[in-house]
A and B are shown apart, each in its own frame.
Chain A
Amino acid sequence: MKYLVLMQVDPAVIEGLTEEQQQRIYDGHQAFMEETTKSGEMLSTHALGDPSQSTVIRGGAKPQIVDGPFAETKEFMGGYYLLDVESKERAIELAQRIPDAGIEGLALEIRPVMFSAGADM
Protein backbone atom coordinates (compact mmCIF):
# COMPACT_ATOMS: atom_id res chain seq x y z
CA MET A 1 0.00 0.00 0.00
CA LYS A 2 1.37 3.36 -0.95
CA TYR A 3 0.93 6.25 1.45
CA LEU A 4 1.89 9.87 1.01
CA VAL A 5 3.09 11.52 4.20
CA LEU A 6 2.51 15.25 3.74
CA MET A 7 4.56 17.55 5.92
CA GLN A 8 2.53 20.59 6.86
CA VAL A 9 4.65 23.56 7.82
CA ASP A 10 3.91 26.97 9.22
CA PRO A 11 6.68 29.34 8.01
CA ALA A 12 6.46 31.26 11.29
CA VAL A 13 7.22 28.08 13.24
CA ILE A 14 10.17 27.26 10.94
CA GLU A 15 11.58 30.79 11.43
CA GLY A 16 11.29 30.45 15.20
CA LEU A 17 13.37 27.25 15.41
CA THR A 18 16.59 27.28 17.42
CA GLU A 19 19.89 26.28 15.76
CA GLU A 20 19.80 23.07 17.72
CA GLN A 21 16.22 22.23 16.68
CA GLN A 22 17.08 22.89 13.05
CA GLN A 23 20.04 20.51 13.24
CA ARG A 24 17.88 17.89 14.96
CA ILE A 25 15.32 18.11 12.16
CA TYR A 26 18.04 17.77 9.51
CA ASP A 27 19.63 14.78 11.23
CA GLY A 28 16.23 13.24 11.85
CA HIS A 29 15.29 13.36 8.17
CA GLN A 30 18.66 11.85 7.18
CA ALA A 31 18.12 8.97 9.60
CA PHE A 32 14.52 8.51 8.46
CA MET A 33 15.52 8.32 4.78
CA GLU A 34 18.27 5.86 5.57
CA GLU A 35 16.01 3.61 7.61
CA THR A 36 13.11 3.49 5.15
CA THR A 37 15.45 2.96 2.20
CA LYS A 38 17.06 0.03 3.98
CA SER A 39 13.71 -1.51 4.84
CA GLY A 40 12.54 -1.24 1.23
CA GLU A 41 9.64 1.08 2.13
CA MET A 42 10.93 4.38 0.74
CA LEU A 43 9.79 5.35 -2.74
CA SER A 44 10.68 9.02 -2.93
CA THR A 45 10.74 12.28 -1.02
CA HIS A 46 10.70 15.93 -2.00
CA ALA A 47 10.95 19.16 -0.03
CA LEU A 48 9.24 22.21 -1.48
CA GLY A 49 10.36 25.83 -1.72
CA ASP A 50 8.83 28.56 0.43
CA PRO A 51 5.11 29.22 -0.23
CA SER A 52 6.04 32.76 -1.37
CA GLN A 53 7.54 31.10 -4.49
CA SER A 54 4.19 29.55 -5.36
CA THR A 55 1.88 30.28 -8.29
CA VAL A 56 -1.80 29.36 -8.13
CA ILE A 57 -4.06 28.66 -11.10
CA ARG A 58 -7.75 29.07 -10.32
CA GLY A 59 -9.74 26.71 -12.52
CA GLY A 60 -12.49 27.89 -14.83
CA ALA A 61 -13.32 28.52 -18.44
CA LYS A 62 -10.60 31.17 -18.34
CA PRO A 63 -8.08 29.95 -15.73
CA GLN A 64 -6.83 32.72 -13.48
CA ILE A 65 -3.12 32.83 -12.70
CA VAL A 66 -2.17 34.35 -9.34
CA ASP A 67 1.26 34.75 -7.73
CA GLY A 68 1.67 33.47 -4.21
CA PRO A 69 0.08 30.60 -2.28
CA PHE A 70 -3.50 29.93 -1.27
CA ALA A 71 -4.29 32.77 1.10
CA GLU A 72 -6.82 30.99 3.29
CA THR A 73 -4.38 29.04 5.42
CA LYS A 74 -1.21 29.59 7.39
CA GLU A 75 -0.19 25.91 7.05
CA PHE A 76 1.46 24.88 3.80
CA MET A 77 2.69 21.63 2.35
CA GLY A 78 6.45 21.77 2.94
CA GLY A 79 7.28 18.42 1.36
CA TYR A 80 6.37 14.76 1.37
CA TYR A 81 7.52 11.19 1.72
CA LEU A 82 6.04 8.57 -0.57
CA LEU A 83 6.17 5.20 1.22
CA ASP A 84 5.08 1.69 0.32
CA VAL A 85 4.15 -0.22 3.48
CA GLU A 86 2.21 -3.29 4.64
CA SER A 87 -0.56 -1.36 6.39
CA LYS A 88 -1.95 2.01 7.37
CA GLU A 89 -0.78 1.34 10.93
CA ARG A 90 2.80 0.95 9.67
CA ALA A 91 2.53 4.24 7.73
CA ILE A 92 1.40 6.03 10.89
CA GLU A 93 4.13 4.35 12.94
CA LEU A 94 6.79 5.48 10.45
CA ALA A 95 5.42 9.01 10.10
CA GLN A 96 5.76 9.50 13.84
CA ARG A 97 9.52 9.03 13.46
CA ILE A 98 9.75 12.03 11.13
CA PRO A 99 11.35 14.81 13.23
CA ASP A 100 8.51 17.23 12.43
CA ALA A 101 6.31 15.08 14.69
CA GLY A 102 8.31 16.37 17.67
CA ILE A 103 7.91 20.09 16.88
CA GLU A 104 4.97 22.07 18.27
CA GLY A 105 3.14 23.84 15.41
CA LEU A 106 4.15 21.37 12.66
CA ALA A 107 1.90 18.56 11.46
CA LEU A 108 1.95 15.45 9.30
CA GLU A 109 -0.89 14.14 7.18
CA ILE A 110 -1.02 10.51 6.02
CA ARG A 111 -3.08 9.83 2.90
CA PRO A 112 -3.45 6.60 0.88
CA VAL A 113 -2.40 6.69 -2.79
CA MET A 114 -5.03 5.66 -5.34
CA PHE A 115 -3.16 5.77 -8.65
CA SER A 116 0.48 5.92 -9.71
CA ALA A 117 2.43 6.47 -12.89
CA GLY A 118 5.85 7.84 -13.63
CA ALA A 119 9.28 7.42 -15.12
CA ASP A 120 10.87 5.36 -12.35
CA MET A 121 7.93 2.99 -11.95
Chain B
Amino acid sequence: MSHPVRAAVPEDLLRTLAPQVLGGLLRRYGATQLDLCENAVQDALLAAHEQWPVQGTPEDPRAWLLATARHRLIDQIRSDTSRRRREQTHAQLAHPLAQGPPAPAGGGDDSLRLLELCCHPALTTSAQVALTLRAVAGLTTAQIAHAYLLPEATVAQRISRAKARIRDVGATFPAPTSPEDRLEPVLSVLYLMFNEGHTATTGDSLYDTDLTREAIRLARMIHAELPGHGEAAGLLALMLLTDARRAARTDSAGRMIPLDEQDRTTWNQRDIREGIDILRRTLPGRPPTPYLLQAAIAALHAEAPGTEETDWAEILALYKLLEQVTANPMVTLNRAVAEAMVRGPAAGLALVDRLAGAALPRDHHRLLAVRAHLLERAGDLAAAREIYRRAARRTLSAPERDYLLSRARRLADPADPAVSADPADPPAGLSG
Protein backbone atom coordinates (compact mmCIF):
# COMPACT_ATOMS: atom_id res chain seq x y z
CA MET B 1 0.00 0.00 0.00
CA SER B 2 1.22 3.47 -0.75
CA HIS B 3 0.55 6.60 1.24
CA PRO B 4 0.72 10.13 -0.09
CA VAL B 5 4.01 11.71 0.94
CA ARG B 6 3.51 14.16 3.80
CA ALA B 7 6.18 16.81 4.00
CA ALA B 8 7.36 17.76 7.48
CA VAL B 9 5.95 21.00 8.89
CA PRO B 10 8.71 23.63 9.20
CA GLU B 11 8.40 23.86 12.98
CA ASP B 12 11.10 26.54 13.43
CA LEU B 13 9.48 28.74 10.83
CA LEU B 14 6.07 28.40 12.49
CA ARG B 15 7.48 29.31 15.88
CA THR B 16 9.28 32.34 14.45
CA LEU B 17 6.16 33.52 12.62
CA ALA B 18 3.63 32.89 15.42
CA PRO B 19 4.54 35.98 17.52
CA GLN B 20 4.74 38.12 14.37
CA VAL B 21 1.25 37.06 13.34
CA LEU B 22 -0.13 37.57 16.85
CA GLY B 23 1.62 40.93 17.08
CA GLY B 24 0.11 41.89 13.71
CA LEU B 25 -3.41 41.01 14.89
CA LEU B 26 -2.92 42.97 18.11
CA ARG B 27 -1.71 46.04 16.23
CA ARG B 28 -4.87 45.90 14.14
CA TYR B 29 -7.45 44.97 16.76
CA GLY B 30 -5.92 46.36 19.94
CA ALA B 31 -3.81 44.77 22.63
CA THR B 32 -6.85 44.30 24.88
CA GLN B 33 -7.94 41.55 22.45
CA LEU B 34 -4.95 39.41 23.43
CA ASP B 35 -7.13 36.47 24.49
CA LEU B 36 -9.18 36.27 21.25
CA CYS B 37 -6.18 36.96 19.04
CA GLU B 38 -4.01 34.38 20.76
CA ASN B 39 -6.67 31.69 20.36
CA ALA B 40 -6.99 32.62 16.68
CA VAL B 41 -3.23 32.25 16.16
CA GLN B 42 -3.26 28.86 17.90
CA ASP B 43 -6.06 27.78 15.53
CA ALA B 44 -4.09 29.02 12.53
CA LEU B 45 -1.00 27.06 13.65
CA LEU B 46 -3.15 23.96 13.99
CA ALA B 47 -4.51 24.52 10.49
CA ALA B 48 -0.94 24.83 9.18
CA HIS B 49 -0.07 21.52 10.79
CA GLU B 50 -3.05 19.90 9.07
CA GLN B 51 -2.83 21.52 5.66
CA TRP B 52 0.81 22.27 4.88
CA PRO B 53 2.00 18.65 4.86
CA VAL B 54 -0.66 17.84 2.27
CA GLN B 55 -0.84 21.06 0.23
CA GLY B 56 2.77 22.12 0.66
CA THR B 57 4.14 25.15 2.53
CA PRO B 58 2.53 28.31 1.11
CA GLU B 59 4.68 30.79 -0.80
CA ASP B 60 4.17 33.49 1.83
CA PRO B 61 3.69 31.53 5.07
CA ARG B 62 3.32 34.67 7.19
CA ALA B 63 0.53 36.07 5.02
CA TRP B 64 -1.17 32.66 5.01
CA LEU B 65 -1.07 32.45 8.80
CA LEU B 66 -2.27 36.03 9.21
CA ALA B 67 -5.21 35.51 6.85
CA THR B 68 -6.15 32.21 8.49
CA ALA B 69 -5.90 33.68 11.98
CA ARG B 70 -8.09 36.63 10.97
CA HIS B 71 -10.74 34.29 9.61
CA ARG B 72 -10.66 32.28 12.83
CA LEU B 73 -10.89 35.46 14.86
CA ILE B 74 -14.04 36.51 13.02
CA ASP B 75 -15.49 32.98 13.33
CA GLN B 76 -14.79 33.07 17.04
CA ILE B 77 -16.62 36.34 17.51
CA ARG B 78 -19.58 35.14 15.45
CA SER B 79 -19.91 31.99 17.50
CA ASP B 80 -19.53 33.89 20.75
CA THR B 81 -22.83 33.38 22.56
CA SER B 82 -22.49 36.35 24.87
CA ARG B 83 -24.37 39.06 23.03
CA ARG B 84 -22.99 41.93 25.01
CA ARG B 85 -19.43 40.78 24.53
CA ARG B 86 -20.09 40.25 20.85
CA GLU B 87 -21.37 43.76 20.40
CA GLN B 88 -18.45 45.27 22.26
CA THR B 89 -15.96 43.30 20.28
CA HIS B 90 -17.73 44.01 16.99
CA ALA B 91 -17.48 47.71 17.70
CA GLN B 92 -13.76 47.35 18.17
CA LEU B 93 -13.34 45.19 15.08
CA ALA B 94 -15.31 47.63 12.98
CA HIS B 95 -12.86 50.35 13.99
CA PRO B 96 -9.52 48.64 14.03
CA LEU B 97 -6.56 50.69 15.05
CA ALA B 98 -5.83 51.40 11.40
CA GLN B 99 -4.15 54.70 12.18
CA GLY B 100 -1.10 52.79 13.43
CA PRO B 101 2.01 52.58 11.29
CA PRO B 102 1.96 50.08 8.41
CA ALA B 103 3.21 46.59 9.11
CA PRO B 104 6.99 46.32 8.87
CA ALA B 105 8.13 43.83 6.27
CA GLY B 106 9.70 41.38 8.72
CA GLY B 107 7.10 41.57 11.45
CA GLY B 108 9.88 41.65 14.05
CA ASP B 109 8.66 44.93 15.47
CA ASP B 110 5.27 43.32 16.15
CA SER B 111 7.04 40.52 18.03
CA LEU B 112 8.78 43.09 20.23
CA ARG B 113 5.52 44.87 21.07
CA LEU B 114 4.04 41.46 21.92
CA LEU B 115 6.98 40.65 24.20
CA GLU B 116 6.50 43.96 26.01
CA LEU B 117 2.81 43.20 26.44
CA CYS B 118 3.48 39.72 27.84
CA CYS B 119 5.96 41.18 30.35
CA HIS B 120 3.53 43.92 31.37
CA PRO B 121 4.44 45.32 34.80
CA ALA B 122 0.91 44.66 36.10
CA LEU B 123 1.56 40.89 35.90
CA THR B 124 3.35 38.72 38.44
CA THR B 125 6.71 37.34 37.35
CA SER B 126 5.40 33.80 36.97
CA ALA B 127 2.53 35.09 34.82
CA GLN B 128 4.95 37.10 32.65
CA VAL B 129 7.09 34.02 32.07
CA ALA B 130 4.14 31.71 31.30
CA LEU B 131 2.52 34.19 28.91
CA THR B 132 5.81 34.88 27.12
CA LEU B 133 6.48 31.18 26.62
CA ARG B 134 3.00 30.65 25.27
CA ALA B 135 2.33 33.74 23.16
CA VAL B 136 5.86 34.61 21.97
CA ALA B 137 7.82 31.36 22.12
CA GLY B 138 4.81 29.42 20.84
CA LEU B 139 4.98 26.61 23.41
CA THR B 140 1.86 24.69 24.37
CA THR B 141 0.47 24.93 27.89
CA ALA B 142 1.49 21.29 28.41
CA GLN B 143 5.10 22.07 27.43
CA ILE B 144 5.27 25.05 29.80
CA ALA B 145 3.76 22.99 32.63
CA HIS B 146 6.27 20.27 31.99
CA ALA B 147 9.23 22.65 31.93
CA TYR B 148 8.26 24.12 35.29
CA LEU B 149 7.06 20.85 36.86
CA LEU B 150 3.62 22.31 37.42
CA PRO B 151 0.17 20.82 36.76
CA GLU B 152 -1.17 21.84 33.35
CA ALA B 153 -4.36 23.24 34.90
CA THR B 154 -2.32 25.61 37.07
CA VAL B 155 -0.41 26.98 34.07
CA ALA B 156 -3.60 27.28 31.98
CA GLN B 157 -5.25 29.24 34.80
CA ARG B 158 -2.22 31.53 35.12
CA ILE B 159 -2.21 32.30 31.40
CA SER B 160 -5.91 33.06 31.23
CA ARG B 161 -5.67 35.26 34.34
CA ALA B 162 -2.72 37.11 32.83
CA LYS B 163 -4.69 37.80 29.65
CA ALA B 164 -7.66 39.01 31.70
CA ARG B 165 -5.38 41.30 33.70
CA ILE B 166 -3.97 42.83 30.52
CA ARG B 167 -7.54 43.42 29.31
CA ASP B 168 -8.44 44.99 32.67
CA VAL B 169 -5.58 47.46 32.63
CA GLY B 170 -6.53 48.29 29.04
CA ALA B 171 -3.12 47.11 27.85
CA THR B 172 -1.79 50.53 28.74
CA PHE B 173 1.66 50.95 30.19
CA PRO B 174 2.83 53.26 32.93
CA ALA B 175 4.65 56.30 31.56
CA PRO B 176 8.13 55.20 30.54
CA THR B 177 11.01 56.80 32.42
CA SER B 178 13.30 56.20 29.46
CA PRO B 179 12.74 55.12 25.87
CA GLU B 180 14.31 51.75 26.59
CA ASP B 181 12.66 50.91 29.87
CA ARG B 182 9.76 48.87 28.52
CA LEU B 183 12.35 46.41 27.32
CA GLU B 184 13.81 46.12 30.83
CA PRO B 185 11.14 43.76 32.23
CA VAL B 186 11.36 41.74 29.01
CA LEU B 187 15.10 41.25 29.43
CA SER B 188 14.75 40.27 33.08
CA VAL B 189 11.99 37.75 32.26
CA LEU B 190 14.26 36.19 29.63
CA TYR B 191 17.17 36.10 32.06
CA LEU B 192 14.98 34.42 34.67
CA MET B 193 13.85 31.88 32.07
CA PHE B 194 17.49 31.27 31.13
CA ASN B 195 18.53 30.72 34.74
CA GLU B 196 15.69 28.28 35.42
CA GLY B 197 17.71 26.31 32.93
CA HIS B 198 16.58 22.87 33.94
CA THR B 199 15.95 20.74 30.90
CA ALA B 200 13.04 18.40 31.26
CA THR B 201 14.20 15.16 29.74
CA THR B 202 11.54 12.51 29.83
CA GLY B 203 12.49 11.16 26.41
CA ASP B 204 9.12 12.36 25.15
CA SER B 205 10.11 14.99 22.60
CA LEU B 206 6.55 16.26 22.47
CA TYR B 207 6.90 17.72 25.95
CA ASP B 208 10.63 18.22 26.37
CA THR B 209 11.40 21.87 26.55
CA ASP B 210 14.74 23.53 26.94
CA LEU B 211 14.07 26.84 28.70
CA THR B 212 17.69 27.92 28.24
CA ARG B 213 17.46 27.57 24.48
CA GLU B 214 14.06 29.28 24.40
CA ALA B 215 15.51 32.24 26.30
CA ILE B 216 18.49 32.44 23.92
CA ARG B 217 16.18 32.23 20.90
CA LEU B 218 14.07 35.15 22.16
CA ALA B 219 17.14 37.21 23.16
CA ARG B 220 18.50 36.61 19.65
CA MET B 221 15.25 37.83 18.18
CA ILE B 222 15.40 41.07 20.21
CA HIS B 223 19.06 41.66 19.35
CA ALA B 224 18.35 41.13 15.63
CA GLU B 225 15.52 43.64 15.81
CA LEU B 226 17.41 46.22 17.93
CA PRO B 227 21.13 45.68 17.23
CA GLY B 228 21.95 49.07 18.77
CA HIS B 229 20.37 48.28 22.16
CA GLY B 230 23.28 47.75 24.56
CA GLU B 231 21.55 45.69 27.24
CA ALA B 232 19.78 43.45 24.69
CA ALA B 233 23.19 42.73 23.14
CA GLY B 234 24.72 42.26 26.59
CA LEU B 235 22.04 39.79 27.64
CA LEU B 236 22.45 37.68 24.49
CA ALA B 237 26.26 37.67 24.89
CA LEU B 238 25.96 36.75 28.58
CA MET B 239 23.60 33.87 27.78
CA LEU B 240 25.84 32.52 25.00
CA LEU B 241 29.01 32.76 27.11
CA THR B 242 27.34 31.10 30.10
CA ASP B 243 25.59 28.38 28.11
CA ALA B 244 28.89 27.58 26.34
CA ARG B 245 30.00 25.94 29.60
CA ARG B 246 26.85 23.83 29.93
CA ALA B 247 28.39 20.45 29.07
CA ALA B 248 31.32 21.01 31.46
CA ARG B 249 29.18 22.10 34.40
CA THR B 250 27.94 18.65 35.46
CA ASP B 251 29.42 15.17 35.35
CA SER B 252 27.72 12.09 33.91
CA ALA B 253 25.92 11.52 37.22
CA GLY B 254 24.53 15.08 37.18
CA ARG B 255 26.88 16.36 39.90
CA MET B 256 28.02 20.00 39.81
CA ILE B 257 31.60 20.68 38.69
CA PRO B 258 33.04 24.04 39.81
CA LEU B 259 34.68 26.35 37.27
CA ASP B 260 38.24 25.53 38.27
CA GLU B 261 37.69 21.78 37.79
CA GLN B 262 35.80 21.97 34.49
CA ASP B 263 37.21 20.41 31.33
CA ARG B 264 37.57 23.59 29.30
CA THR B 265 38.03 21.66 26.04
CA THR B 266 34.30 20.82 26.21
CA TRP B 267 33.27 24.49 26.30
CA ASN B 268 31.35 25.40 23.17
CA GLN B 269 33.83 27.54 21.20
CA ARG B 270 31.27 28.64 18.62
CA ASP B 271 29.02 30.14 21.32
CA ILE B 272 32.06 31.76 22.97
CA ARG B 273 33.17 33.34 19.69
CA GLU B 274 29.67 34.63 19.00
CA GLY B 275 29.35 36.07 22.52
CA ILE B 276 32.74 37.80 22.28
CA ASP B 277 31.96 39.13 18.79
CA ILE B 278 28.75 40.69 20.07
CA LEU B 279 30.68 42.34 22.92
CA ARG B 280 33.38 43.66 20.54
CA ARG B 281 30.70 45.26 18.39
CA THR B 282 28.70 46.64 21.29
CA LEU B 283 31.08 47.72 24.07
CA PRO B 284 33.07 50.57 22.45
CA GLY B 285 31.86 54.01 23.44
CA ARG B 286 28.99 52.72 25.55
CA PRO B 287 28.29 53.29 29.24
CA PRO B 288 28.81 50.18 31.40
CA THR B 289 25.41 48.55 32.04
CA PRO B 290 24.60 45.40 34.06
CA TYR B 291 24.22 42.75 31.33
CA LEU B 292 27.18 44.09 29.33
CA LEU B 293 29.40 44.02 32.43
CA GLN B 294 28.33 40.49 33.37
CA ALA B 295 28.94 39.37 29.79
CA ALA B 296 32.40 40.97 29.86
CA ILE B 297 33.22 39.02 33.05
CA ALA B 298 31.94 35.79 31.47
CA ALA B 299 34.10 36.52 28.41
CA LEU B 300 37.26 36.81 30.56
CA HIS B 301 36.53 33.37 32.03
CA ALA B 302 35.78 31.97 28.57
CA GLU B 303 39.07 33.23 27.10
CA ALA B 304 41.28 31.86 29.89
CA PRO B 305 42.84 28.41 29.46
CA GLY B 306 42.62 27.84 33.25
CA THR B 307 41.90 29.46 36.62
CA GLU B 308 45.55 30.47 37.08
CA GLU B 309 45.71 32.23 33.71
CA THR B 310 42.43 34.10 34.27
CA ASP B 311 42.70 37.90 34.35
CA TRP B 312 41.35 38.25 37.90
CA ALA B 313 42.47 41.87 38.22
CA GLU B 314 40.28 42.83 35.26
CA ILE B 315 37.40 40.71 36.63
CA LEU B 316 37.73 42.51 39.96
CA ALA B 317 37.61 45.89 38.23
CA LEU B 318 34.47 44.84 36.31
CA TYR B 319 32.75 43.62 39.50
CA LYS B 320 33.46 47.00 41.11
CA LEU B 321 31.79 48.74 38.17
CA LEU B 322 28.88 46.29 38.31
CA GLU B 323 28.49 47.00 42.02
CA GLN B 324 28.24 50.72 41.28
CA VAL B 325 25.53 50.32 38.66
CA THR B 326 23.43 47.69 40.45
CA ALA B 327 24.11 48.13 44.20
CA ASN B 328 23.29 44.42 44.50
CA PRO B 329 24.83 42.53 47.45
CA MET B 330 25.09 39.35 45.32
CA VAL B 331 27.53 41.26 43.10
CA THR B 332 29.56 42.22 46.17
CA LEU B 333 29.62 38.56 47.14
CA ASN B 334 31.01 37.66 43.71
CA ARG B 335 33.54 40.46 44.08
CA ALA B 336 34.71 38.82 47.31
CA VAL B 337 35.81 35.78 45.27
CA ALA B 338 37.68 38.03 42.82
CA GLU B 339 39.27 40.00 45.72
CA ALA B 340 40.52 36.70 47.14
CA MET B 341 42.07 35.74 43.79
CA VAL B 342 43.85 39.10 43.45
CA ARG B 343 44.68 40.06 47.05
CA GLY B 344 44.38 36.78 48.93
CA PRO B 345 41.63 35.00 50.89
CA ALA B 346 41.78 37.39 53.89
CA ALA B 347 40.68 40.31 51.69
CA GLY B 348 37.78 38.24 50.36
CA LEU B 349 36.73 37.14 53.85
CA ALA B 350 36.80 40.72 55.13
CA LEU B 351 34.35 41.71 52.40
CA VAL B 352 32.06 38.74 53.19
CA ASP B 353 32.10 39.76 56.88
CA ARG B 354 30.97 43.26 55.95
CA LEU B 355 27.98 41.84 54.03
CA ALA B 356 26.92 39.31 56.67
CA GLY B 357 24.08 40.52 58.81
CA ALA B 358 23.99 43.82 56.87
CA ALA B 359 23.17 43.67 53.15
CA LEU B 360 22.64 39.89 53.31
CA PRO B 361 21.32 37.67 56.09
CA ARG B 362 24.10 36.01 58.10
CA ASP B 363 22.83 32.54 57.08
CA HIS B 364 22.28 33.29 53.36
CA HIS B 365 23.32 30.10 51.55
CA ARG B 366 25.48 31.79 48.89
CA LEU B 367 27.20 33.89 51.51
CA LEU B 368 27.95 30.78 53.54
CA ALA B 369 29.17 28.90 50.45
CA VAL B 370 31.57 31.73 49.52
CA ARG B 371 32.78 32.05 53.12
CA ALA B 372 33.44 28.31 53.32
CA HIS B 373 35.32 28.40 50.03
CA LEU B 374 37.50 31.33 51.16
CA LEU B 375 38.17 29.67 54.55
CA GLU B 376 39.27 26.58 52.65
CA ARG B 377 41.66 28.69 50.57
CA ALA B 378 42.95 30.35 53.73
CA GLY B 379 43.74 26.90 55.14
CA ASP B 380 41.18 26.95 57.97
CA LEU B 381 39.82 23.54 57.00
CA ALA B 382 37.83 22.77 60.14
CA ALA B 383 35.89 26.04 59.90
CA ALA B 384 35.43 25.58 56.14
CA ARG B 385 33.97 22.12 56.68
CA GLU B 386 31.46 23.40 59.23
CA ILE B 387 30.38 26.34 57.04
CA TYR B 388 30.02 24.14 53.92
CA ARG B 389 27.61 21.97 55.94
CA ARG B 390 25.66 25.01 57.11
CA ALA B 391 25.44 26.27 53.52
CA ALA B 392 24.21 22.82 52.39
CA ARG B 393 21.34 23.00 54.89
CA ARG B 394 20.32 26.43 53.58
CA THR B 395 20.24 25.86 49.84
CA LEU B 396 17.07 24.88 48.00
CA SER B 397 18.92 23.30 45.08
CA ALA B 398 19.51 19.56 45.43
CA PRO B 399 22.63 19.49 43.17
CA GLU B 400 24.12 22.45 45.06
CA ARG B 401 23.44 20.77 48.40
CA ASP B 402 25.15 17.60 47.20
CA TYR B 403 28.10 19.63 45.92
CA LEU B 404 28.54 21.51 49.21
CA LEU B 405 28.31 18.30 51.23
CA SER B 406 30.93 16.67 49.02
CA ARG B 407 33.26 19.68 49.57
CA ALA B 408 32.77 19.20 53.32
CA ARG B 409 33.48 15.47 53.00
CA ARG B 410 36.68 16.14 51.08
CA LEU B 411 37.93 18.28 53.94
CA ALA B 412 36.86 15.69 56.48
CA ASP B 413 38.97 12.96 54.95
CA PRO B 414 42.57 13.33 56.18
CA ALA B 415 43.68 10.66 53.70
CA ASP B 416 42.76 12.97 50.81
CA PRO B 417 45.46 15.63 50.38
CA ALA B 418 43.87 16.98 47.20
CA VAL B 419 42.25 20.01 48.76
CA SER B 420 41.41 22.42 46.00
CA ALA B 421 42.63 26.00 46.30
CA ASP B 422 40.57 27.44 43.47
CA PRO B 423 37.24 29.23 43.39
CA ALA B 424 33.91 27.66 42.70
CA ASP B 425 32.03 28.79 39.62
CA PRO B 426 31.07 32.38 40.38
CA PRO B 427 27.37 32.74 39.65
CA ALA B 428 26.58 35.05 36.76
CA GLY B 429 23.17 35.89 38.17
CA LEU B 430 22.31 39.05 40.00
CA SER B 431 19.09 37.69 41.35
CA GLY B 432 20.75 35.43 43.86
Contact = CB atoms under 8 A, between A and B. Distances in A.
Interface in A101-121: 112, 114-118, 120-121
A43 B151 contact: yes
Interface string B195-235: 00000000000000000000000000000000000000000
Contacts of B397: 114
A121 B154 CA distance: 10
Nearest to B155: A40
B168 to A, nearest CB: 15
Contacts of B154: 40-43, 84
Given A37-B157, A38-B157, A40-B157, A114 B152 contact: no
Interface string B4-46: 0000000000000000000000000000000000000000000
B124 interface: yes
Contacts of A43: 150-151, 154
B343 interface: no
A64 interface: no
Contacts of B398: 114-115
A116 B200 CA distance: 11
A120 B152 contact: yes
Q: How large is the interface on B (under 10, 10 to 19, 20 to 34, 35 or more residues)?
A: 10 to 19
Which secondary structure characterizes the binding site on chain B?
Answer: helix
A23 B155 CA distance: 32
B396 A121 contact: no
Interface string B111-133: 00000000000001111000000
Contacts of A42: 154
B151 A114 contact: no
Given A112-B396, A114-B397, A44 B127 contact: no
B368 interface: no
Given A112-B396, A115-B398, A121 B150 contact: yes
Interface in A31-82: 37-44
Contacts of B418: none
Contacts of B415: none
Contact of B124 (A38, A86, A114, A118): A86
A107 to B, nearest CB: 22
Interface in B158-174: 158, 161
B135 to A, nearest CB: 16
Contacts of A44: 151
A86 B126 contact: yes
A42 B156 CA distance: 12
B96 to A, nearest CB: 31
A43 B148 CA distance: 12
Interface centre among B124, B161, B401 (most CB of A within 10 A): B124
A66 B54 CA distance: 64
Nearest to B400: A114
Contact of A40 (B125, B127, B149): B127
B395 to A, nearest CB: 8
A44 B125 CA distance: 21
Interface string B62-74: 0000000000000
Interface centre among B152, B157, B401 (most CB of A within 10 A): B157
Given A39-B161, A40-B158, A115-B398, A121 B126 contact: no
Interface string B131-156: 00000000000000110011110110
Given A43-B150, A86-B125, A121-B149, 13 more contacts: A39-B157, A40-B127, A40-B154, A42-B154, A43-B151, A44-B151, A84-B154, A86-B126, A114-B396, A114-B397, A114-B398, A117-B149, A121-B146
Interface of B: 124-127, 145-146, 149-152, 154-155, 157-158, 161, 396-398, 401
9 contacts: A40-B127, A40-B155, A43-B150, A43-B154, A84-B150, A114-B398, A114-B401, A120-B152, A121-B151
